[in-house]
Structures are given as C-alpha cells and as structure tokens.
Amino acid sequence: MTFNIFKKSNKNSEAISSRLANILNQKPNNLHVTICIQNQILFQIMPAKNFIQHGFKTDKPNDLVAIHFFNKNKTLTFDSLNNIKDTGIANNYYFYEKPKGNYNYIKSIGLNPIEIETEILKNIKEIYELENLNNISIEYADY
C-alpha cells in the first residue's frame, strides 16, 4: 500500500511528523519512508527487523531505523559518505558493507513521529549538507 508521495515545500504542507503519526495509527506492516532528491534516494526510514539478518541488534524490531547507503551509482550523494566518516557521525551508526562497495549505516530512531522528523531534517542538513528542501520528496509506503 502506498500512502502518497509528499513533496516538502514551504506552503501549507503537512509536517512529516503529522503525516507519520497518521500512518503509524493505521498500523502499517513494514512502513518504508524514502527521502529523495532529483529521483535519487538520499536515505530511508524502515523497521529495524529488516536489518537483523545483517547483524543489527535491537530489542524492538518494529522500531524504525534510518538507513543511509552509499555507492558509486548514487552520483548525487556518494561524496556525502565522507561527511559520515570524517565528522564522527558514523560513531552513532551500525555499519555493514553488502554487497561489496555498498556502504550501509543504520541508526535506531524509535517510533515517536516528532523525533523521527527531527532526525530526518538533521540528517538532510548534517550528512547531505542540504539547506534548501524544495527538491526533496518523501514517499511513504507499506510493504
């Protein structure tokens, strides 16, 4: 089930936290929130249970995690890999490389919509160094 595509803009847009609260109240099975710029994925939010097989440890498999992945095919964001490694941000993430050359960074962000929105906006600014959100789109889907 797709919950719509939500384009972030400065005019009368529903806040990410508000949209998430509405979706979470519908009890999705495997919610995926995909944050994109110019048709390339910046990062995704999804349940932690999707990463247990990669060694991610959690007591709450239904809590959401932020997953940042970098590879040479993501031409708009591959340089942001250095922002995670060089600034110490990586210390707050679980890392695994799979497949080879695909660098995955995962961080648990819970289920509180306000905290999730804060984390999304913080990641956009700190990791990807984007101040202008006009080109960011967010898709909410349940699988």
For residue 6, what pLDDT is reported?
42
Long-range contacts from 24-31, C-beta under 8 angstroms, 24+ separation: 24/111, 24/113, 28/1, 28/3, 28/142, 29/142, 29/143, 30/142, 30/143, 31/64, 31/140, 31/141, 31/142
For residue 13, what pLDDT is reported?
66
pTM value is 0.87
Q: Higher pLDDT residue, 137 or 45?
A: 45
What is the pLDDT of the chain when averaged over all its residues?
A: 88
Model confidence at 125, pLDDT cuts 50, 70, 90, reads: very high
